[in-house]
């Protein structure tokens, strides 16, 4: 706007100067007036130029001026907002870590408890099993003598039904019973003196190289020993223990050394310098 006014004023200066020169020669009364108007246009031109050169704040400058502090304030605000967020994030991570550690500890404790419970259950089962096994070998010396003479009819027929006790040797917590059936069958047993229960029993037999009846009687006596220690066994079970389990199945007995377990009872058969032995005891002993 001021530039336009200044342009018109500049034009007016030339116009009024020309009119002033013309009126100086023709109409002197208008010379002074035109000269004053030219001077007024000159002053107006100066004024217009002055106003036009005054720096005015532009919209861009206003925006920039406002943006600088605004940007600064925004950074500060962002920083202030980020600081609690970082703290919250760290706190959340810390809490998550603690929860994971707690969960891991609880899982480890659970596994340990389950392991202990499984071990206790296993131990209990083993104890119950041992009790059941022990029950399969549960008789007194008198009961054994009665079983020996009555369970297998052939024992009486072969004259093997009588057990003659030679002596009883008392020890601290044990009584050793030495007995004899005939000249080639001897017996030894460990008995609990408090309960008279048999803890271990062994039958020793001397086979003959010439008398097969004697050898058959030895097999019969071994079978009767198995039956007398556990009357609940069937005839087939007794035969399987003696023949298959302990190796008395027709083969050579020269290197006999067999061990066999069945229903909580341990059977051991051996050849000790020509003397055949069969011992019976609880499997857990």
Nearest in space to 162 (alpha carbons), one of 232, 231, 118, 224: 224
* φ/ψ of residue 269, rounded to 5: -125, 140
Helix, strand, coil in percent for the chain, rounding step 5:
60, 20, 20
The residues, any chain, with a CB within 8 Å of residue 104's CB and separated by 6 or more, are none
Q: Would you give per-residue pLDDT tens digits along the chain (285 residues)? A: 666 776 776 777 777 677 767 666 666 666 677 667 777 777 877 777 776 665 555 544 444 544 445 555 666 656 666 667 778 888 888 888 999 999 999 999 999 999 999 988 887 776 665 555 445 688 999 999 999 999 888 999 999 999 999 999 998 889 999 999 999 999 999 999 999 999 999 999 999 989 999 999 999 999 999 999 999 999 999 999 999 999 888 677 888 899 999 988 999 999 999 999 999 999 876
- Residues 222 and 203: their CA atoms lie apart, in Å, by 7
Judge whether 150 and 166 are in contact, CB under 8 Å.
no
SS3 275: strand
- Residues 4 and 10: their CA atoms lie apart, in Å, by 10
- Residues 137 and 201: their CA atoms lie apart, in Å, by 11
Q: What is the pLDDT of residue 134?
A: 47
Give per-residue pLDDT as tens, 213-244: 999 999 999 999 999 999 999 999 999 999 99
Give per-residue pLDDT as tens, 18-38: 776 766 666 666 667 766 777
Q: Please, where are the H alpha helices in 137-211?
A: 141-150, 153-157
């Amino acid at each position: 706007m001021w530039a336009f006014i200044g342009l018109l004023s500049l034009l007016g200066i030339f116009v009024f100067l020309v009119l002033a020169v013309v009126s100086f020669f023709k109409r002197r009364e208008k010379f002074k007036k035109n000269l004053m108007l030219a001077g007024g246009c000159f002053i107006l031109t100066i004024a217009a130029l002055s106003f036009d050169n005054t720096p005015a704040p532009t919209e861009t400058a206003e925006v920039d001026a406002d943006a600088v502090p605004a940007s600064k304030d925004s950074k500060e605000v962002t920083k202030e907002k980020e600081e609690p967020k970082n703290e919250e994030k760290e706190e959340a991570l810390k809490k998550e870590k603690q929860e994971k550690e707690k969960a891991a500890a609880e899982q480890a404790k659970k596994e340990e408890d389950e392991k202990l419970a499984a071990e206790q259950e296993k131990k209990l089962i083993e104890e119950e099993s041992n009790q059941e096994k022990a029950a399969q070998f549960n008789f007194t010396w008198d009961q054994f003598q009665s079983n020996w003479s009555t369970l297998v009819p052939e024992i009486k027929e072969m004259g093997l039904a009588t057990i003659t006790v030679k002596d009883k040797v008392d020890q601290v917590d044990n009584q050793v019973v030495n007995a004899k059936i005939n000249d080639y069958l001897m017996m030894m047993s460990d008995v609990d003196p408090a309960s008279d229960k048999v803890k271990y029993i062994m039958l020793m037999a001397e086979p003959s190289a010439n008398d097969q009846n004697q050898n058959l009687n030895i097999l019969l006596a071994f079978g009767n020993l198995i039956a007398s220690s556990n009357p609940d066994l069937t005839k087939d079970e007794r035969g399987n223990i003696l023949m298959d389990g302990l190796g008395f199945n027709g083969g050579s007995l020269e290197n006999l050394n067999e061990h066999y377990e069945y229903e909580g009872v341990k059977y051991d058969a051996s050849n000790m310098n020509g003397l055949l032995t069969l011992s019976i005891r609880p499997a857990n002993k």
